[in-house]
Amino acid sequence: MAEKKKQRVTKKYEPRKHCPKCGTASRLAEHPNRRSCGKCGYTEMK
């Protein structure tokens, strides 16, 4: 069985805005319509 080698999908993690709550400890994740912090849940609508 020829199993395809799993391609590692690595999102280009660009340095983005830092979370206003967590400071430099966390960056906001980019979403099509918002930015959010995975640590404190801060969300910023675009």
Residues forming the site for Zn ion (CB under 5 A):
19, 21-22, 26, 37, 39-40, 42
CB 44 within 8 A of CB 28: yes
The nearer residue to Zn ion, 22 or 29, going by C-beta atoms, is 22
The C-alpha atoms of residue 17 and residue 15 are separated, in whole angstroms, by 7
The nearer residue to Zn ion, 2 or 35, going by C-beta atoms, is 35
Q: Does the CA dihedral 6-33-23-42 come out positive or negative?
A: negative
The nearer residue to Zn ion, 1 or 45, going by C-beta atoms, is 45
